[in-house]
Amino acid sequence: MELVAVIMAGGVGARFWPKSRAEEPKQLLNLFSERSMIQNTVDRMEGLVKNSNIYIITNKMQKSQILEQLSEIPAENVIEEPFGKNTAAAIGLATLIVESKHTNAVTIILPADHLINDQDEFQKVIREASEYANNSDALVTIGINPTRPDVGYGYIQIDDNGDGNSLHKVIRFAEKPNLETAKRFLKSGDFFWNSGMFIWRTDVILSEIKNYMLDLNDGLETIKAAIGKDNYEEVLTKVYGILRSISIDYGIMENSKVVKLIKGKFDWSDVGSWDAVYHLLEKDKNDNVGKGDTYFGNTEGTYVNSTNKFTAVIGVKDLLVINTDDATLVCHRDYAQDVKLVVDYLRMNKKDELL
């Protein structure tokens, strides 16, 4: 069994403005350690997937930074999308490239910006899922056991007829719920957080794309014919221009009849906002977190990220304060999801230098 990892690293991380920018988005930041999130994602593959079998799919603006951060990955393994078209297109393109070099390989699809603390347990789950995917025509997804009624995650319901890390039949995918629905999901015991991590053979996912996304399949066939030829870039750009922007969940996983879930019994977070970062970091006696040269006076529950200048906060509670050389964000932690609205505002007002 040949294992290949495909790391999706094309997102802009709008909720992590002003640190996250088009050329250096969330996955390239070192939010939790000296290593960036994408470096940590590659590190988790050590002993499981060799570096020559790790592929990154990203975009033109981020490619140079990724090559710099991941010097151990062959440069030709960094796949460049002409522009973002969501995860179905990205996974389809990456699968084509992988399939051209590793026929019917078991492929592990991983977002670049997740936090996973228990590497041993993570690799155990990946190995079991990979063995199953290698010996079946299944699309395997990793479900995370929910620890709270979180409204920020999608959920997956299973037919719970197994135990441990055995594979389970998926009944349905559920979008991000309201709080009452999330509480019902948690109480039922058969709903899991949708981690966005997948394991399958290349031939199986390409077959399911043909079954459920014929337009994407047609585009991929056109791209496939151009791989290795002088007109590859031209063909890729033309095809991408007419592809639908749709997630792999909507396009394939919610429709496929061969989806299985394996339970991921490890600490996991998709780190969706600055508030999520705050919750994951060690706090002082007043529940404050400071990164950089900071001062807290009569302040509680506040996160300051200011590596470029001294920052003092006095007499406040539950704030996020993020500094860069050209911008400052001050936000109540309850409104952390709304940071993306700042990015929308900047884009609409053509303040590209801040994006």
Domain ranges of the chain: 3-269, 274-354
Residue 224, SS3 per DSSP: helix
Cα(242)–Cα(49) distance, integer angstroms: 34
Q: What was the pLDDT predicted at 27? A: 93
Cα(87)–Cα(254) distance, integer angstroms: 14
Q: What was the pLDDT predicted at 161? A: 59
Cα(185)–Cα(172) distance, integer angstroms: 12
Residues of the chain with pLDDT under 50: 163-165
Structure tokens at 15: 């909720």
How many CB atoms neighbour CB 224 within 10 A? Answer: 15
Cα(104)–Cα(30) distance, integer angstroms: 35
Q: What was the pLDDT predicted at 175? A: 86
* Predicted model pTM: 0.92
Do residues 304 and 146 lie in contact, with contact meaning Cβ atoms separated by under 8 Å? no
Cα(173)–Cα(183) distance, integer angstroms: 16
Structure tokens at 1: 């069994």
The CATH number, out of the four listed (3.40.640.10, 3.20.20.80, 3.90.550.10, 3.90.1150.10), of the domain defined by the range 3-269:
3.90.550.10
pLDDT digits (tens, 9 = 90+) for 108-151: 999 999 999 899 999 999 999 999 999 999 999 999 999 888 88
